Structure 1
Amino acid sequence: MNDDTTPRSTTGASTQATTRRRLLKAAGAAAAGSLVGVGLTNSVSASSVASAPPRLERKSSSSNLIVDPQGNRVTLRGVNIVDPWRAGRDAPYYKFRGERSVQLATNHDNGWHANIIRVPMQPNDIARQGAGSIEPGAYTQEQLDSYIEKYVDPIVEECAYQGVYCILDYHRHWPDGPDWDQADLHEEITDFWDTVAARYAEQDHVIFEVYNEPTTPYNGAGCIQDCPDVTDDGSEQTWLNWRETAQPWVDTIRQHASNLTIIGSPRWSQWTLWAPEHEFAGENLGYVGHFYTQEGLRPLSTYFGEASEQVPVFITEFGFGGSGSHMNGTREEHGPEFAEFFDTYDAAHPIGWCFDFDWGPPMLDRSYEVATEWGDWMQSFLADNYGTYAPADPHPNVSAPAAPGEVALLQKADTTVEVEWPTVDGADGYNVYANQELLGQVNGPPIVIGGLEPSSQAWIGVTAYNDGGSSAYVEIPEINLLGEGEGPDLTPDIGGDADPEPPTDETPTTTTPTDDEPTWPDAPTDPDGDGLYEDLSGDGTVNFPDVNTLFQNSDSAAAQDNAQYYDFDGDGTLTMQDVLALFETV
Structure 2
Amino acid sequence: MRDHDTTGSDRQSRRQFLKTTGATAALAAGLATVGTAAARGIPTPRLHRDGKWMKDPSDNEVTLRGVNVVDPARAKETTWRRAIPRVVEHATDPERDWYSRVIRLPMQPADIIEDGKGNGARVDPGGFSESKLQTYLDDYVQPVVETTREIGVYLILDYHRHKSQELEYTDPDLHDELMMFWEVVASRYAEEPHVLFEVYNEPISPYYGFRERGASAEVANPDDENAEQTWLDWRAAAQPWVDTIQANAPEAPVLIGSPRWSQWTFWSSIHEFEGENLAYTGHVYGHPGLRPLDEYFGTPAEEVPIFMTEFGYEPDDGETAEYMAGSNEKEGQQFVDFFESHPNVSWQVWCFDHIWAPAMFSKDTGGPDEPWELRSGPLQHGQFFRDYLKETRSDRLPEGDGSTTPGTTPGGDLDPVDGTVPQDLDGDGLHEDLSGDGTLNFPDVNQFFQHTDSAAVQDHPDAYDFDGDGTVDSQDVLALFEMV
Considering the TM-score relative to the shorter chain, is it more than 0.5? yes
Amino acid at match of 2:90: L
User: For residues 6 and 439 of structure 2, what CA distance do their matches in structure 1 show?
Assistant: 16
Shift of 1:326: 1.3
- CA deviations on 1:539-570 (whole Å, 9 max, x unpaired) are xxxxxxxxxxxxxxxxxxxxxxxxxxxxxxxx
Partner of 1:287: 280
- CA deviations on 1:384-440 (whole Å, 9 max, x unpaired) are 11111111146899xxxxxxxxxxxxxxxxxxxxxxxxxxxx9849xxxxxxxxxxx
Whether 2:229 is the aligned partner of 1:201: answer no
- CA deviations on 1:187-211 (whole Å, 9 max, x unpaired) are 0000000000000000000000000
Once the two structures are superposed, the pairs formed by residues 124-143 of structure 1 within 5 Å of their partners are 124-128=110-114, 129-132=117-120, 133-143=122-132
Runs of 4+ in 1 over 6 A off after TM superposition: none
Secondary structure at the aligned position of 2:299 is classed as: helix
Bigger proportion of residues as helix: 2
User: For residues 276 and 215 of structure 2, what CA distance do their matches in structure 1 show?
Assistant: 39
Whether 2:457 is the aligned partner of 1:468: answer no
State whether residues 202 and 258 of structure 2, in contact with CA within 8 Å, keep that contact through their aligned partners in structure 1: yes
State whether residues 161 and 470 of structure 1, in contact with CA within 8 Å, keep that contact through their aligned partners in structure 2: no
Partner of 1:180: 169
- CA deviations on 1:22-78 (whole Å, 9 max, x unpaired) are xxxxxxxxxxxxxxxxxxxxxxxxxxxxxx71000001xxx1011000110000000
User: For residues 112 and 395 of structure 1, what CA distance do their matches in structure 2 show?
Assistant: 27
The percent identity for this pair of structures is 43
User: For residues 152 and 200 of structure 1, what CA distance do their matches in structure 2 show?
Assistant: 10
Whether 2:257 is the aligned partner of 1:229: answer no
Partner of 1:348: 345
Secondary structure at the aligned position of 1:166 is classed as: strand
Say which of 380, 395, 406 aligns to 1:388.
395
Secondary structure at the aligned position of 1:127 is classed as: helix
User: For residues 393 and 162 of structure 1, what CA distance do their matches in structure 2 show?
Assistant: 14
Shift of 1:364: 1.2
CA shift in 2, pair 1:8/1:75, >3 Å:
farther
Shift of 1:470: 7.9
Shift of 1:369: 3.5
Partner of 2:72: 84
Shift of 1:153: 0.5
Shift of 1:308: 0.8
Partner of 1:300: 293
**TM superposition score normalised by structure 1:** 0.59
State whether residues 57 and 401 of structure 2, in contact with CA within 8 Å, keep that contact through their aligned partners in structure 1: no
CA shift in 2, pair 1:72/1:177, >3 Å:
farther
State whether residues 396 and 468 of structure 1, in contact with CA within 8 Å, keep that contact through their aligned partners in structure 2: no
Whether 2:252 is the aligned partner of 1:264: answer no
CA shift in 2, pair 1:219/1:296, >3 Å:
same
Whether 2:53 is the aligned partner of 1:57: answer no
Structure with larger Rg: 1
Structure 2: 5+ residue stretches without partners: 10-37, 365-370, 405-423, 428-435, 442-484
- CA deviations on 1:483-506 (whole Å, 9 max, x unpaired) are xxxxxxxxxxxxxxxxxxxxxxxx
Shift of 1:176: 6.7
Whether 2:89 is the aligned partner of 1:103: answer yes
- CA deviations on 1:520-544 (whole Å, 9 max, x unpaired) are xxxxxxxxxxxxxxxxxxxxxxxxx
User: For residues 165 and 176 of structure 1, what CA distance do their matches in structure 2 show?
Assistant: 31
Partner of 1:166: 155
Secondary structure at the aligned position of 1:84 is classed as: coil
Partner of 1:338: 335
Partner of 1:370: 374
CA shift in 2, pair 1:247/1:396, >3 Å:
closer
Shift of 1:371: 2.0
Shift of 1:330: 1.4
State whether residues 8 and 109 of structure 1, in contact with CA within 8 Å, keep that contact through their aligned partners in structure 2: no
- CA deviations on 1:310-343 (whole Å, 9 max, x unpaired) are 1000000000116443111111221211111111
Shift of 1:254: 1.1
Amino acid at match of 1:255: A
Whether 2:266 is the aligned partner of 1:273: answer yes
Amino acid at match of 1:242: W
CA shift in 2, pair 1:127/1:396, >3 Å:
closer
Bigger proportion of residues as strand: 1
Amino acid at match of 2:65: R
User: For residues 71 and 310 of structure 2, what CA distance do their matches in structure 1 show?
Assistant: 14
State whether residues 58 and 401 of structure 2, in contact with CA within 8 Å, keep that contact through their aligned partners in structure 1: no
Amino acid at match of 2:261: W
Q: CA RMSD in A?
A: 2.7
Shift of 1:170: 0.3
State whether residues 69 and 351 of structure 2, in contact with CA within 8 Å, keep that contact through their aligned partners in structure 1: yes
State whether residues 165 and 205 of structure 2, in contact with CA within 8 Å, keep that contact through their aligned partners in structure 1: no
Shift of 1:141: 1.8
State whether residues 395 and 467 of structure 1, in contact with CA within 8 Å, keep that contact through their aligned partners in structure 2: no
Shift of 1:137: 0.5
Secondary structure at the aligned position of 1:112 is classed as: coil
**TM superposition score normalised by structure 2:** 0.71
Whether 2:235 is the aligned partner of 1:243: answer yes
Structure 1: 5+ residue stretches without partners: 15-51, 398-425, 430-465, 472-586
CA shift in 2, pair 1:149/1:387, >3 Å:
same
User: For residues 166 and 143 of structure 2, what CA distance do their matches in structure 1 show?
Assistant: 28
CA shift in 2, pair 1:71/1:329, >3 Å:
same
User: For residues 425 and 48 of structure 2, what CA distance do their matches in structure 1 show?
Assistant: 32
194-203 or 321-330: which moved more?
321-330
Shift of 1:269: 0.3
